[in-house]
């Protein structure tokens, strides 16, 4: 599996398909830089913008490998395992984006009180993890091999991102809404809660399993 991850990471880097998600995330994160955003709000915004960035990064990753190379890798290690490696590589790229966004929020947002800094940062990172998992799940669900037509995959990915950010049933929206209520109440550090976190992990497991099974069936 380690060899597959290294192979998929090399494909992603050499294909340059990571550039658009990176630029998109940078632009979306920069929108929040108004000079008067509290640290908690800046962290939440950076976490929310992981959903579209990671979904598009996942889409780029699962379509980056040439068909001939994919067939060879599937024959050597199994199509399902290769698909999981591609999804995990995109998730790893999302982790890098999330850490970069947290650093940006720390540098540009209003500083939190020293006694609350660790809790605020921890809560913001926890929300980012939920959004990261939801973005990865959206990308896995709406792209190859579950959906194959390029136009359909792009439109469905964008629709899934919107739903993930605004729908009440979305773990990402629930995590962001819960922290937003806490910030308004001024209660200090805020965490996404066990329900959104567990729901995001479950959603990721379901979509990754479905994607891997579909890849194995078509491989």
Using the predicted structure, report yes or no on whether residue 184 has a pLDDT greater than 50.
Answer: no
Beta bridge partners of 38: 110
Residue with the two structure tokens 């970069």: 100
- Over residues 22-44, the mean pLDDT reads 84
The domain segmentation of the chain, as residue ranges, is 2-218
User: Could you write out the DSSP letters of every residue in 23-64?
Assistant: HHHHHHHHTT--S--BHHHHHHHHHHTHHHHHHHHHHHHHTT
Task: Report pTM.
Answer: 0.91
CB atoms within 10 A of CB 21: 25
- Rounded to the nearest 10 degrees, the angle between the axes of helix 114-141 and helix 39-48 is 10
CB contact burial 184-202 (16+ within 10 A = b; e otherwise): eeeeebbbbbeebbebbee
- Over residues 39-66, the mean pLDDT reads 92
Q: Which 3 state secondary structure label does DSSP give 116?
A: helix
For the stretch 131-164, pLDDT in tens is 999 999 999 999 989 998 888 999 999 999 999 9
- What is the spatial distance between Cα 99 and Cα 101, in angstroms, rounded to a whole number? 5
Q: Which 3 state secondary structure label does DSSP give 101?
A: helix
For the stretch 166-182, pLDDT in tens is 998 999 999 998 765 44
Using the predicted structure, report yes or no on whether residue 183 has a pLDDT greater than 80.
Answer: no
């Amino acid at each position: 599996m380690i060899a597959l991850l290294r192979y998929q990471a090399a494909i992603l880097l050499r294909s340059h398909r990571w550039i658009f998600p990176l630029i998109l995330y940078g632009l979306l994160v920069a929108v929040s830089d108004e000079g008067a955003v509290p640290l908690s709000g800046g962290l939440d915004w950076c976490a929310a913008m992981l959903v579209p960035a990671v979904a598009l990064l996942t889409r780029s990753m699962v379509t980056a490998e040439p068909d001939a190379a994919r067939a060879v890798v599937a024959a050597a290690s199994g199509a399902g395992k290769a698909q999981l490696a591609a999804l995990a590589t995109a998730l790893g790229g999302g982790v890098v984006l999330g850490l970069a966004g947290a650093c940006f929020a720390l540098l540009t947002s209003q500083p939190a009180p020293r006694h609350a800094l660790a809790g605020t940062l921890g809560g913001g990172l926890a929300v980012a993890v939920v959004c990261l998992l939801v973005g990865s799940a959206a990308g896995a669900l709406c792209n190859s091999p579950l959906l194959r037509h390029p136009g359909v995959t792009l439109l469905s990915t964008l629709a899934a991102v919107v739903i993930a950010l605004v729908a009440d049933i979305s773990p990402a929206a629930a995590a962001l809404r819960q922290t937003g209520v806490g910030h308004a109440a001024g209660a200090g550090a805020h965490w996404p809660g066990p329900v959104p976190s567990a729901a995001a992990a479950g959603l990721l497991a379901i979509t990754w399993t479905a994607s891997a099974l579909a890849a194995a069936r078509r491989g």
